[in-house]
């Protein structure tokens, strides 16, 4: 199936490992130009090599930036460098590392504010910077990687639950504002996948976990021409972990 991504330009943040990298690889495989970024230079360089190997255009299709996307000025820099390198911007996959675990009554103000900064405001800033470029082409796809906790809060992840659910409310609202411009905005909500983050949270051995590559291909579909009428929704990729009906 041709996803219509050849020649499109994408940004995938926090993309040196895990689900961010899986998303970048899937987009590159479909022929998109991809900007990747993360905080650690050696990790970004290794990820760039992997993305280039996945792309039909090799190194020419990859731009790597070493930055902490959660800092206030990083989204503007990433968007500006991407447009300068590739001449346009069509796709944004917003990702950021999750906050530490903690129960709702145990987390303090500073921890809550830090989680909101990283897992809500970072995406808002990135989308605001990207939207003028997407509007200029009358075509765009925005996907925010969050967690299935926006549908079923996880007791030990109060910070993630709080920030990501706030992002979902913002994204649901923003999607309506963008629909008339040919731009879609969706959340993708992973359950447990075989990533360093999941293993670091103490996932029990033997618990079913998804393949990050499969997750990345769902992201690529949401960014495709075929997903033009998928907008303002939260797509759960969790192997059936969420028990609710919504």
CB 223 within 8 A of CB 174: no
pLDDT of 244 reads 79
Indicate the pLDDT class of residue 75, thresholds 50, 70 and 90: very high
pLDDT of 217 reads 98
For each of the domains in the chain, give its residue range(s) and CATH number, in order of start.
9-237 (3.40.50.720)
Which residues, other chains included, contact 37 with Cβ-Cβ below 8 Å and sequence gap of 6+?
11, 12, 13, 14, 15, 16, 44, 64, 65, 66, 67, 69, 74, 78
Check whether 204 has a pLDDT greater than 60: no
Indicate the pLDDT class of residue 203, thresholds 50, 70 and 90: low
Check whether 201 has a pLDDT greater than 80: no
Query: First vs last Cα of the chain: how many Å apart?
Result: 29
How does pLDDT run across 146-157, given as a tens digit for each residue?
Answer: 999 999 999 999
Average pLDDT over residues 218-231: 98
Is the pLDDT higher at 171 or at 198?
A: 171
Check whether 205 has a pLDDT greater than 70: no
């Amino acid at each position: 199936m041709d996803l219509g991504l050849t020649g499109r330009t994408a940004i995938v943040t926090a993309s040196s490992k895990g689900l961010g990298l899986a998303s970048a690889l899937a987009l590159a495989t479909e022929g998109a130009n991809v900007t990747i970024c993360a905080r650690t230079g050696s990790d970004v360089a290794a990820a760039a090599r992997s993305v280039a190997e996945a792309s039909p255009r090799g190194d020419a299709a990859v731009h790597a930036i070493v930055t902490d996307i959660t800092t206030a000025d990083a989204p503007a820099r990433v968007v500006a460098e991407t447009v300068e390198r590739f001449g346009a911007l069509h796709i944004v996959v917003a990702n950021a590392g999750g906050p530490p675990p903690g129960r709702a009554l145990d987390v303090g103000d500073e921890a809550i504010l830090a989680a909101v900064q990283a897992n809500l405001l970072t995406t808002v800033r990135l989308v605001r910077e990207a939207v003028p470029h997407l509007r200029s082409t009358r075509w765009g796809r925005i996907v925010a990687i969050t967690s299935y906790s926006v549908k079923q809060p996880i007791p030990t992840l109060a910070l993630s639950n709080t920030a990501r659910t706030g992002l979902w409310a913002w994204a649901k609202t923003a999607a309506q504002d963008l629909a008339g411009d040919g731009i879609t905005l969706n959340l993708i909500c992973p359950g447990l996948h075989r990533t360093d983050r999941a293993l670091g949270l103490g996932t029990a051995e033997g618990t079913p976990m998804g393949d990050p590559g499969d997750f990345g291909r769902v992201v690529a579909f949401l960014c495709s021409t075929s997903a033009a009428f998928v907008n303002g929704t939260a797509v759960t990729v969790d192997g059936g972990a969420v028990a609710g009906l919504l």
